[in-house]
Amino acid sequence: MNKLKTPSDLEDIIQAISKKSNKQCIVLAIGTCGIARGADKVANALKKELKQQDLESKVDLKITGCHGFCEIEPYLNILPEEIFYIKVQPDDVKEIISKTVVGKKTIERLLYIDPHTKKKIIKEKDIPFYKKQTRNILAYNALIDPQNIEDYFGINGYSSLSKVLTLMTPEEVIEEVKQSGLRGRGGAGFPTGFKWNFCRKAKGNKKYIVCNADEGDPGAYMDRGLLEGNPHSIIEGMIIGAYAIGANEGFIYIRDEYPIAVSTIENAIKQARQYGLLGKNILGFNFDFDITIVRGAGAFVCGEETALISSIEGKKGEPRQRPPFPAQKGLWRKPTNINNVETWANIPIIISKGAMWYAKIGTEKSKGTKIFSLVGKINNTGLVEVPMGLTLKDLVYEIGGGIPKGKSFKAVQTGGPSGGCIPEYLLDTPIDYEKLKEAGSIMGSGGMVIMDENTCMVDVARYFLEFLQDESCGKCLSCREGTKRMTEIVTNITKGHGKKEDLELLEELATVVKDTSMCGLGQTAANPVLSTLRYFREEYEDHILNGKCPAGVCSALVQYLIISEKCVGCELCKKACAQQAISGEKKKPHVIDQNKCIKCGICLETCKVNAIEKR
Amino acid sequence: MIQLNVKCPHCKHSLLDKTYKIDGHPSVRLLFELKGKKDELYLSSFYGSHNSKIPSFISEGDTLILSCPWCKASLMSTRICEKCNTQMVLMDIEDGGSIQICSRKGCKKHILEFEDLGTELKAFYNVYSTFFKGD
Amino acid sequence: MIELRIDGLDVQTEKGSSILDVARFYGIEIPTLCHHDGLSPYGACRLCIVEIGEGDKAKLVSSCTYPAEQGLVVRTNSRRVVQARKMLVELLLAMCPSSKTIQDLASAMEVRRVRFKVEHNDCILCGLCVRMCAEQMDAQAIDFVNRGKDRKITTPFDAKSDVCRTCGACMYICPACELRCQGPDAPGDVCGGCANVLPVCLEDEDDKMCFLDPCGWCYKELGRTKNREKK
């Protein structure tokens, strides 16, 4: 690898790599999600089989990051024919290589079947899940090997940086980002161009830029998808940002629970340095910049910008009062600009395609596309990228494929623990920073948890409160004690010990926690409670006044009963019950001893005649 | 884009006029004096916006003396515009801090601009930071 | 000089002061717990919150840490502030009902009940001892460890400290260490003795017997008892 000393060096290498070859290539996605489904085993099987059939020199194996459709992982794409196989197992590999790679025939059982048309789809890009998205950023995940910087050159990588250094002044870069309307993708939606400008205007010779990769929201893994799939887009964005702001040092604060993402970005930085894209005199210009990686240590609160700064400084991850703001006094009291991973990843495309192009996508106040992680009770689980303004209904049904097992939609939780639940009658809400706020939730970093009729909203509130209680830094009284007491009250409600006065107390406490906490964690800690109370108050009341959990989730309020008329006395449930709570003779109706029953539900699953009911 | 609620530093009365809107929001109403003539003008309360309603007899390059329509006190300050060397006009904003505007019509700084970076940051954070891991 | 308005009063101060500094200078009382004049402000107890700004953008901030700014409008006793302070005191009482400081705050703010399960902790995590040890005694023997509900104050690795000089400054400044006054029997977790019961001292004695400040009930009632005597 030779250092690229001028923009034309970069041009040359891009040209050389872009020459498309017609060599056969198997593209296999191995992100953390893929590994969870065994994609690494498929990779090993592929390597072995290719060697065995003596095809190593004829067929390439390209390992990419997650393409987005995690529900059907492991999946692979065979190029140049573009044959896409889903849910591939190591045992399928031999047939794939013999029949498809060599024999050029498709294996029908491995193709994706459209649930509406029931037709089999051969090409990845024709799958409705992908087709209906606007994958401006995520599409590249399917094309490049994140461990190989040459692949990034192959998609014109770093040419935005070259354009910036050659043709634009820092002020012009900031103006371009301002015009694009890009807003922070970490959740608050702060106009990025203005944010960069603040840091640029701040007094001081030493400035820092930081990438916040501490993605902590349960269920959100968009940043992981980008870090593992296209790390160079983030690096390129950061170099451009550093040039615009006037910084020479950057940090990527990444949560330690993402080991693959950490090693991928570390490797990417190393390769960028080898090519001279990080370090001194980048592309021959009088501009130095390098990036250091700082790993988190398991604290959700360190995603908050002032706590993140404290953590990088080696101190306790405790938020600090603002003012002063990080743009003026941040890391080591120097002007610092912090942006989310996805925000940085949007920069190269804004520079290459222009602010006007970017501003055409989205709504009046929320421009561009956003990546969401669609998880929970949804058919098409995965990472999706959609333009701002798409309705939640389209996201859930058109792209998400609706709710599995024919159950009905109940709510979508957006924004993680700081967000709220949006009920069915508000599904026409467009995805937009302001509109989501009006509905009582927030955009957040992009986690979208879908809930169905068997989700208890009180239990959901309890889950998030427990999470926040655990993650609170504990400095201020309101947040530390407030989340603790709110958790206590809601847990009592789920156990059937709720009192009528509890709801009033909960609302009063929630308001105080929201008003008086010092940092955003505390200020938004009450959101899960307030939002579920707003839209699902009857569920709370059902728990408290009637001792019932309508969704059938809260174990203390649920009873398992054997319907004696239906019971055939097969003794299956009796044998399955670990608590020995079921009694009865052969061929005679059985009975569950409610005192011994722990509501695990195994008996219901075991019964073959539907004689057990959950009430 | 953020809207600024400006007020007179002397009498603290809000300078916003709901009856005349610019950029879809209440405008900033001020009294002015030019060559002996006295009248009123309206500026946009939006940070960075050049929209305004100014009587036609004011030409480019004219320097105005601006005052508060409520207490009639002068809003002129001792600050000098770095672009055209004219006196700046200072107003307070509701969340604390001040904004300034150059008193010469046509000057690039003849728009609402924050007095210092700290105030500007606070105004933006007030509007956008309603979320925990703000970005 | 910076000009701002507190509770309708136009005040002036120098750059660098906090809202609490200005308020105290002008005699406006704001309750505090984790604040001490000789120590750096911390902002943990949230009792000193005041409302700044106007309309729907108004928010509550801790006056001990928030810098005074030109044109700021501050309200120290708006409805939102008072309700918040009362709830915060309720949370404190549920943590450590044996502390006189907290019981006095409860009396002063008319907090009569605790609606949470009461725990008897020795520490309210205000951080005064930590700052005292670090800033005034220059020892830094103790500090906060752990996060959230596991947060506690201790020496590094809970080991015996080499730098602790057993000066006792931490005990001196601790609000939880100051136990409830031994006056009339408290009926429950909220002492409210001062508020609920006539203090024995003034009825029977000619002098204030509790010597503890700032209970305040005596002062509030003094006017009434004096008038009763006159009659």
Q: For chain A, list the domains and their CATH numbers.
A: 16-131 (3.40.30.10), 149-359 (3.40.50.11540), 369-452 (3.10.20.600), 457-545 (1.20.1440.230), 559-614 (3.30.70.20)
Structural domain harbouring B63: 6-127
Residue (of A130, A121, A162, A220) closest to A14 by Cα position: A162
Cβ distance B134 to A305 less than 8 Å, yes or no, reads yes
Cβ distance B92 to C71 less than 8 Å, yes or no, reads yes
CB B102 within 8 A of CB B84: yes
| A186 shares contact with chain B (CB less than 8 Å) | yes
The answer to whether residue B89 is domain-embedded is yes
The answer to whether residue B20 is domain-embedded is yes
Angle of helix A192-201 versus helix A170-180 axis, rounded to 10: 150
B118 CB neighbours in chain A (<8 A) are: 323-325, 328
| A550 shares contact with chain B (CB less than 8 Å) | no
Residues of chain A with pLDDT under 70: none
Determine whether A221 is exposed, middle or buried from the number of CB atoms within 10 Å of its CB (0-12, 13-18, 19+).
buried
pLDDT digits (tens, 9 = 90+) for A236-293: 999 999 999 999 999 999 999 999 999 999 999 999 999 999 999 999 999 999 999 9
The answer to whether residue B135 is domain-embedded is no
B95 CB neighbours in chain C (<8 A) are: 52-53, 57, 72
Measured distance CA(C91)–CA(C106) in Å, rounded: 11
Measured distance CA(C74)–CA(A422) in Å, rounded: 36
| Pair of tokens at residue B3 | 């809207």
Cβ distance A485 to C116 less than 8 Å, yes or no, reads yes
A299 CB neighbours in chain C (<8 A) are: 147
Using the structure block, give the residue that is written with the tokens 């065979």. A78
Determine whether A217 is exposed, middle or buried from the number of CB atoms within 10 Å of its CB (0-12, 13-18, 19+).
buried
> Closest residue of C to B6, CA-based?
C71
pLDDT given at position B129? 72
| A337 shares contact with chain B (CB less than 8 Å) | no
Measured distance CA(A149)–CA(A274) in Å, rounded: 10
Cβ distance B119 to C69 less than 8 Å, yes or no, reads yes
Q: Which residue has the higher pLDDT, A615 or C151?
A: C151
Q: Residue type for A47, please?
A: K
Measured distance CA(A244)–CA(C165) in Å, rounded: 52
Measured distance CA(A147)–CA(A65) in Å, rounded: 10
Which of A437, A481, A489 should be substituted to probe chain C, the one whose Cβ sees the most C Cβ atoms within 10 Å?
Answer: A481
For chain C, list the domains and their CATH numbers. Answer: 2-77 (3.10.20.740), 90-120+183-230 (no CATH), 128-173 (3.30.70.20)
pLDDT given at position A568? 87
CA triplet A125, A126, A128: central angle to 5 degrees? 105
The answer to whether residue B1 is domain-embedded is no
Measured distance CA(A397)–CA(C138) in Å, rounded: 63
Label the pairing between strands A208-213 and A249-254. parallel
Min distance C68 CA to chain B CA atoms (Å): 9
B125 CB neighbours in chain C (<8 A) are: none
Measured distance CA(A269)–CA(A264) in Å, rounded: 9
Measured distance CA(C22)–CA(C208) in Å, rounded: 32
| Pair of tokens at residue C130 | 């930590």
Q: Residue type for A464, please?
A: F
The answer to whether residue B51 is domain-embedded is yes
Residue (of C145, C144, C96) closest to C119 by Cα position: C96
| Pair of tokens at residue A282 | 């980048």
Determine whether A301 is exposed, middle or buried from the number of CB atoms within 10 Å of its CB (0-12, 13-18, 19+).
buried
Q: Residue type for B53, please?
A: K
pLDDT given at position C229? 44
| Pair of tokens at residue C19 | 């809202």
Distances (CA, A) of A199 to A192, A205, A335: 11, 11, 6
pLDDT given at position B109? 66
B55 band by pLDDT with thresholds 50, 70 and 90: confident
> Residue A498: helix, strand or coil by DSSP?
coil
> Residue B67: helix, strand or coil by DSSP?
strand
Residue (of A522, A530, A512, A514) closest to C90 by Cα position: A512
pLDDT digits (tens, 9 = 90+) for C158-179: 999 999 999 999 999 998 887 7
Residue (of A153, A199, A149, A152) closest to A173 by Cα position: A199
Cβ distance A485 to C94 less than 8 Å, yes or no, reads yes
Q: Which residues contact A62 (CB under 8 A, 6 or more apart)?
A: A25, A26, A27, A28, A145, A151
How many residue pairs bridge chain B and chain C with CB atoms within 8 Å of each other? 37
> Closest residue of B to A185, CA-based?
B135
Q: Which of C66, C124, C148 sits opposite A472 (nearest CB)?
A: C148
Show which subunits contact C, needing at least 3 CB pairs below 8 angstroms: A, B
Measured distance CA(A222)–CA(A433) in Å, rounded: 18
What is the length of chain C? 231
CB A26 within 8 A of CB A101: yes
Tell me the three-class secondary structure of A340-382, residue by residue.
Answer: EHHHHHHHHHHHHHCHHHHHCCECCCCECEEEEEEEECCCCCE
Show which subunits contact A, needing at least 3 CB pairs below 8 angstroms: B, C
Cβ distance B96 to C57 less than 8 Å, yes or no, reads no
- A95-101, long-range: CB within 8 Å, 24+ apart, which pairs? A97/A46, A97/A49, A97/A50, A97/A53, A97/A55, A97/A59, A98/A53, A101/A24, A101/A26, A101/A55, A101/A59
Cβ distance C149 to A474 less than 8 Å, yes or no, reads yes
Taking the CB of residue A142, how many other CB atoms lie within 10 A of it? 21
Cβ distance C71 to B126 less than 8 Å, yes or no, reads no
CB A205 within 8 A of CB A249: no
Q: Which residue has the higher pLDDT, C1 or A472?
A: A472
| Pair of tokens at residue A465 | 């409160």
Which of A469, A475, A479 should be substituted to probe chain C, the one whose Cβ sees the most C Cβ atoms within 10 Å?
Answer: A475
The answer to whether residue B81 is domain-embedded is yes
> Closest residue of C to B115, CA-based?
C70
> Residue A290: helix, strand or coil by DSSP?
strand
pTM: 0.88
First to last CA, chain B: 16
Q: Which of A186, A202, A214 sits opposite B134 (nearest CB)?
A: A186
> Residue A469: helix, strand or coil by DSSP?
helix
Min distance C19 CA to chain B CA atoms (Å): 12
Measured distance CA(C142)–CA(C162) in Å, rounded: 11
Min distance B130 CA to chain C CA atoms (Å): 11
Using the 8-state DSSP alphabet, how is residue A394 labeled?
Answer: I
| Cross-strand bridge partners of residue B3 | B46
Q: Is the peptide bond before A323 cis (omega within 30 degrees of 0)?
A: yes
Strand (E) or helix (H) holding A9: helix A7-18
Per-residue burial over C139-173, b if 16 or more Cβ lie within 10 Å, else e, is: bebbbbbebbeebebeeeeeeeeeeeeeeebbeeb
Question: Over chain C, what is the mean pLDDT?
Answer: 82
Determine whether A520 is exposed, middle or buried from the number of CB atoms within 10 Å of its CB (0-12, 13-18, 19+).
buried
Cβ distance A477 to C67 less than 8 Å, yes or no, reads no
A194 CB neighbours in chain B (<8 A) are: 124
Using the structure block, give the residue that is written with the tokens 């001292």. C201
Measured distance CA(A468)–CA(A488) in Å, rounded: 13
Q: Which of C66, C87, C92 sits opposite A508 (nearest CB)?
A: C87
Show which of residues 32-71 on chain C sit within 8 Å of chain B, judged by CB atoms.
52-55, 57, 59, 69-71
Taking the CB of residue A108, how many other CB atoms lie within 10 A of it? 8
Measured distance CA(A613)–CA(A604) in Å, rounded: 7
pLDDT given at position B134? 37
Using the structure block, give the residue that is written with the tokens 């573009």. A82
C210 band by pLDDT with thresholds 50, 70 and 90: low
Min distance C58 CA to chain B CA atoms (Å): 8
Cβ distance B129 to A324 less than 8 Å, yes or no, reads no
| C91 shares contact with chain A (CB less than 8 Å) | yes
Min distance A239 CA to chain B CA atoms (Å): 18
How many residue pairs bridge chain A and chain C with CB atoms within 8 Å of each other? 87
> Closest residue of C to B128, CA-based?
C57
What is the length of chain A? 615
DSSP symbols for chain C: -EEEEETTEEEEE-TT-BHHHHHHHTT-----SS--TTS-----S-TTEEEESSGGG-EEEETTTSBP-TT-EEESS-HHHHHHHHHHHHHHHHH-TTBHHHHHHHHHTT-----S-----S-----HHHHIIIIISS----EEESSGGG-EEESGGGPPPSS-----HHHHH-TTTSBPPSSSPP-SSS--HHHHS--HHHHHSSS-----TT--HHHHHHHHHHHHHH-
| B128 shares contact with chain A (CB less than 8 Å) | yes
Label the pairing between strands A336-340 and A208-213. parallel
Cβ distance C70 to B12 less than 8 Å, yes or no, reads no
Measured distance CA(A435)–CA(C148) in Å, rounded: 33
> Residue A48: helix, strand or coil by DSSP?
helix
| B95 shares contact with chain C (CB less than 8 Å) | yes
The answer to whether residue B10 is domain-embedded is yes
Q: Is the peptide bond before A324 cis (omega within 30 degrees of 0)?
A: yes
pLDDT given at position C207? 58
> Residue B7: helix, strand or coil by DSSP?
strand
> What is the Cα Rg of chain A in Å?
27
pLDDT digits (tens, 9 = 90+) for A298-313: 999 999 999 999 999 9
| Cross-strand bridge partners of residue A409 | A452
The answer to whether residue B75 is domain-embedded is yes
State mean pLDDT over C65-80.
90
The total number of structural domains that make up chain B: 1
pLDDT given at position A520? 87
